[in-house]
Amino acid sequence: MSSAYLQCIEEACGRRQDPKRDLHACEFCGGLLDVKYDFDPIDPEQLRRTWHQRRLSGEPIDRSGLWRFRELIPFVDFKARIISLSEGSTPLVGVRRTGWWAGPVHLTIKHQGNNPTGSFKDLGMSACITRAESRGVRMVACASTGNTSASMAAYAARAGIKALLFVPYKQISAAKLAQALDFGALVVEVGDNFDDAFRLLREIAPELGLYLVNSINPFRIEGQKTIVAEMLEQRAWRPPDYIVVPGGNLGNSSAIGKGLRELKELGFIEKVPHIVIVQAAGANPFYQTLRAAAPDLLAVDNPQTEATAIRIGHPANWKKAKRVLDWAGGFCESVTDEEIFEAKRVLAEDGVGCEPASAATIAGVRKLVRAGKIERHADIVCVLTGNQLKDTDYIMRHRTEDQKNSQLLQVEPDLNSLRRELKRALREK
């Protein structure tokens, strides 16, 4: 049987730690932890066939796009209870019009907004809450800009575990907050931004005996890494030239990089795609750190962007993300809110909706192609992390407030008014 252990990511430490303990940081140096494996011998071709055959299965564990790849995450006894909502199995969709606008490049999107609670967080949360339930945890907690909170609340409810959520005061989408409340989470509004909320949660967690499920929990990363296994399976195991992800707390890019590295080491792929991380200009500490070649994170104390899912100034996983870029020959870009909106608008013309943070990937590709850092006609997969309905206030604000270009008509209830307004609007369109 494959076995799991925890290991510190710091080169100066690197010590193994007991996987049976609920550690979120190295007990020797305080560094971040990886879940590592001593894998049994694997035949990639046979395992590919097994994963494909499971798509035809009626078993709940096989209907999950996470647990279908369970040989990659052997940290749990699969005879035990798996906390799943049939997450994963998200589409890989070609967007020719958007690809032409952004490059031209050969562009497909991996839309994680099609998960049960509408974001990529469900993959990691299924793994993390399964781990918590197997450990007898009775209360889980997170700080969140919205997506993590909705996902944690749903999976905790599924497991019968209490959920405690810290969110920045008046700084997250009402739609995301409503999800968490609907699933029964206790919500605490505290601090001006995610970083304030997360700091306070980490300080009080030991006192209350809370099990943290933010991405500093290494088992969250294990769930999220399976996105690349599913993506590559959908591409007949032909890696793209680039995989592009939005960057907030940097857990997703860390997970994708870890997944790719393990798939290469196990013999599933030979070529490694370049990983590109795109941040919002008002919340781009990782971009600034890499540009300055700084040894420590150049944190942003007051992050500002309308893409609330990536409005984070002190990303906890920045060292893991840097390790990924170093290994994969990747890089980081920064885009403005205006560039994000334009990319979101173009995606919508292709019939694809997403939350603002997701569209940062498309904006980043366009900017990098124009700068010559990504070649024209490159084969690119952009990961869209959240559903279109995650931030409806953003849509209404941008699509209706400009009176000249508003798509929302308010018309008096008579035929002449209706005829006049329609003619005017259609002429202008």
DSSP 11-80: TTT--EE-TTS--SS-TTT---EEEEEEPPP--HHHHHHHHHHHTT--SHHHHSTTGGGGGG-TTS-TTS
pTM of the model: 0.94
Band (pLDDT 50/70/90 cuts) for residue 19 is: confident
* Spatial distance between the Cα atoms of 364 and 371, rounded to a whole number of angstroms: 11
pLDDT, tens digit, for every residue of 89-105? 999 999 999 999 999 99
**What local confidence, expressed as pLDDT, does residue 352 receive?**
97
143 neighbors 187 (Cβ within 8 angstroms): no
pLDDT, tens digit, for every residue of 170-199? 888 899 999 999 999 999 999 999 999 999
* Spatial distance between the Cα atoms of 367 and 391, rounded to a whole number of angstroms: 24
- Per-residue pLDDT at 406 exceeds 80: no
- Per-residue pLDDT at 425 exceeds 90: no
Q: Which of 16-25, 133-142, 310-319, 397-406 has the lowest mean pLDDT?
A: 397-406
- Per-residue pLDDT at 429 exceeds 70: no
pLDDT, tens digit, for every residue of 299-318? 999 999 999 999 999 999 99
Band (pLDDT 50/70/90 cuts) for residue 1 is: low
Please state the rounded mean pLDDT for residues 318-324. 97
- Per-residue pLDDT at 10 exceeds 70: yes
Q: Where does 145-284 have alpha helices with state H?
A: 147-159, 174-182, 194-208, 218-224, 226-234, 251-265
50 neighbors 58 (Cβ within 8 angstroms): no
How many Cβ atoms from other residues are within 10 Å of residue 57's Cβ?
Answer: 11
- Per-residue pLDDT at 428 exceeds 80: no
Band (pLDDT 50/70/90 cuts) for residue 402 is: low
CA distances in angstroms from 251 to 76, 190, 257, listed in the order given: 21, 22, 10
308 neighbors 276 (Cβ within 8 angstroms): no
**What local confidence, expressed as pLDDT, does residue 88 receive?**
97
Rg (CA), the chain: 22
Please state the rounded mean pLDDT for residues 59-82. 92
- Per-residue pLDDT at 404 exceeds 70: no
173 neighbors 357 (Cβ within 8 angstroms): no
According to CATH, what is the number of the domain 92-117+221-395? 3.40.50.1100
**What local confidence, expressed as pLDDT, does residue 426 receive?**
86
- Per-residue pLDDT at 23 exceeds 90: no
Q: Rounded to the nearest 5°, which phi and psi values hold at 161?
A: -110, 140
